[in-house]
Structure 1
């Protein structure tokens, strides 16, 4: 049973005229007759009762007509839906982004995308970097924005920019006058950082250890926003990705460049290597590239 045969059957059943049905489905009468005959052979019985003067549906044909009409309508709806998706007139993009990116930079890209594709819905998951990698790997989202996770067999990574960590101080701190803060200075104060196994924390500790230093961790928490608020209230100091600068300053913390060690990580777009992207996700990926490679 083919969609061509179903269309032919519905056209003949609704008009009870081969001539009118030919015009509706754009087939010649021999081609239409062959389509009906092939359909009847495939289902194993007659759907029409024919005489030289009349054409009518058999009882089995009457029972099959609403089913055939629904199948043709579903086929047409499916074609229209796919057409709209490929033309970016319908669809959804699911993105996972680490909080530092989601809160500070992602809204601009979402705005740019919405201006181009007003009918595409966007779903944003604000999760830690490690969860971004997991969600993309498991196919729960098509795109992820995170730090470079290193070689991953099933993931692609497109670099957007390199992000250097900055020192974060409470207002009025004695290091506030410094144009650049050395790691040896920063790590001598009570240090506030993310909880293990955060990749941000592990990177800070590894780079500090390479220089014979170790942060004096006094508090750890789950979110960088919480780190910033704890610093702003005077509980200690911290080091965070520079893309959090605006968020830290809005909270009331003071930000300064950090040197010795310089801590840097690549930020970019993650996607699954094997499954590819939908048309809408490809468009979102290009907007992300255009927005942040030019801006940063």
Structure 2
């Protein structure tokens, strides 16, 4: 059994087909097929079943998948350990985080890290909270930042900071100058927020908005689903509705008077931003330095 065979198996399982797997690995499709054929011969069972124009894991493939992921992850750890021994804080560091965090104070931490460690090439990926955890668990990234804890036994969750959320409007919005707004007044206007995410156990922004409006009002309020925090802020600024967003993401707009925080009793809430890492994973010096930077208690 060879590493290339395991890599081919995982690529097909994740990409859903031989052609896409060959493109992802930059290897010809006949070479991919040969690797799988040899692997199946060694295991004595088929790993995939053809479904339409793609493939799906067979019963044997589903049984083999977690062990294949473990093999590749351990191999990556071994390579990282040797490289770290000889090169220290150099090489590549892969980090995943929820896309909305790019508009918060976390970006400053990444900037400071790059300045302090110019020899490290930072590779960034974005995903949903569940997706971030999966990338970490499979060893595709060293660290991840997501919303809320992950209870998976292979992962360690550490809270980094709480991201404050505030309700905002354009300065000329009818509610911008109002005092002590009620839930009924808030629910009478459109709210811009993220659409439901498939597979996510909780959508933190939607939960915060529901808590602000109340269960009954939230069910009748007009919701404008926009899957981009930057677009949400722009639409609010243009007067298309209200939104619940991280305060750190709109500091410039608030200071410039382009947005207002609505006056609602106990309106602000927060979402815990959590660092996830593999419990038994190897951490190079570069990864340890990143971990310290992300956990620094500087107010986010």
Instruction: Please state which band the TM-score falls in when normalised by the shorter chain.
Output: 0.5 to 0.7
Q: Which of 73, 84, 100 matches 2:86?
A: 84
Inter-partner Cα distance in structure 1 for 2:145 and 2:275:
5
Residues 173 and 157 (structure 1), Cα distance of their counterparts in 2 relative to 1, 3 Å cut: same
Residues 221 and 80 (structure 1), Cα distance of their counterparts in 2 relative to 1, 3 Å cut: closer
Residues 285 and 180 (structure 1), Cα distance of their counterparts in 2 relative to 1, 3 Å cut: farther
TM-score by length of 2: 0.61
Structure with larger Rg: 1
Q: Which of 213, 218, 235 matches 2:217?
A: 213
Residues 263 and 79 (structure 1), Cα distance of their counterparts in 2 relative to 1, 3 Å cut: closer
Counterpart in the other structure of 2:126 = 126
1:1-296 alignment runs, 5 A limit? 81-85=83-87, 87-88=88-89, 90-178=90-178, 182-197=182-197, 199-204=203-208, 206-208=210-212, 212-214=216-218, 216-246=221-251, 249=254, 252-256=258-262, 259-260=265-266, 262-290=268-296, 293-296=297-300
What SS does structure 1 have at the residue aligned with 2:223?
A: strand
RMSD over aligned Cα atoms: 3.1
Q: Give, in angstroms, the shift of residue 244 of structure 1.
A: 2.3
TM-score by length of 1: 0.62
What SS does structure 1 have at the residue aligned with 2:118?
A: coil
What SS does structure 1 have at the residue aligned with 2:123?
A: strand
Residues 80 and 282 (structure 1), Cα distance of their counterparts in 2 relative to 1, 3 Å cut: closer
Gaps of 5+ in 2: 1-79
Inter-partner Cα distance in structure 1 for 2:252 and 2:157:
26
Q: Give, in angstroms, the shift of residue 169 of structure 1.
A: 0.7
Aligned residues: 215
Inter-partner Cα distance in structure 2 for 1:264 and 1:167:
12
Determine if contact 2:81/2:284 at 8 Å carries over to the other structure: no
Q: Give, in angstroms, the shift of residue 170 of structure 1.
A: 1.9
Determine if contact 2:161/2:299 at 8 Å carries over to the other structure: no
Inter-partner Cα distance in structure 1 for 2:139 and 2:257:
35
Inter-partner Cα distance in structure 2 for 1:206 and 1:227:
17
Residues 153 and 220 (structure 1), Cα distance of their counterparts in 2 relative to 1, 3 Å cut: same
Inter-partner Cα distance in structure 2 for 1:94 and 1:245:
27
Gaps of 5+ in 1: 1-77
